[in-house]
Chains A and B, each alone.
Chain A
Amino acid sequence: TQLLEQSPQFLSIQEGENLTVYCNSSSVFSSLQWYRQEPGEGPVLLVTVVTGGEVKKLKRLTFQFGDARKDSSLHITAAQPGDTGLYLCAGGDSNSGYALNFGKGTSLLVTP
């Protein structure tokens, strides 16, 4: 199993602040996804990154895939209370069909 480590585990910030969440592994992934999950619901796909060094933007969210395709980051600009949730990164594991290996997630709380 290819392990993904996310940091920080918990983050509590005020509205308007910027933040960065990290996802690291010793393994190379063919692609990496970021999901956001709210309590009692399933994860919602935010973005997929495929190419080393790739940067994708989704409104105030910026996702980057490391050059070696072993790590990724998620940066949120001017966080809003609606950004509150569990952010999960997941990498494709070719040893198990097209399964996803998930990190434990970063729990983000944005207060007004």
Chain B
Amino acid sequence: ETGVTQSPTHLIKTRGQQVTLRCSSQSGHNTVSWYQQALGQGPQFIFQYYREEENGRGNFPPRFSGLQFPNYSSELNVNALELDDSALYLCASSSVGGGTSYEQYFGPGTRLTVT
């Protein structure tokens, strides 16, 4: 069973630039969620994709957008980067529809630094 993978591992961008982060979900999972984790904090929910459509969104501005592909992989795009966007971005996959729909399995994360 292949776990959740994310790329790249680390990324340094300049304020105002745009960034795309990628995630491959665990085999057999149909849902992908993205979280932002600032230093010393718990993960904050950005949004979730199910069947290629956004299935829920946290309190993040529209410059955070995403995609889910037919193979259930996903992208997180952030436009007009701000210094406060520096964080660990986590992707989690899950299988919606069963009794354990809230169980999510996380990738190793992408560390984004905005200078």
Contact = CB atoms under 8 A, between A and B. Distances in A.
A102 interface: yes
B73 interface: no
B102 A88 contact: no
Contacts of A44: 106
A27 interface: no
Contacts of B40: 104
A70 to B, nearest CB: 16
B94 to A, nearest CB: 6
A33 B103 contact: yes
B106 A33 contact: no
A98 B96 contact: yes
Contacts of A92: 101-102
B84 to A, nearest CB: 17
Identify the 6 closest CB pairs spanning chains A and B, nearest first. Answer: A97-B56, A42-B106, A102-B42, A96-B56, A92-B102, A97-B55
B45 A45 contact: no
Interface in B88-115: 88, 90, 92, 94, 96, 99-109, 111
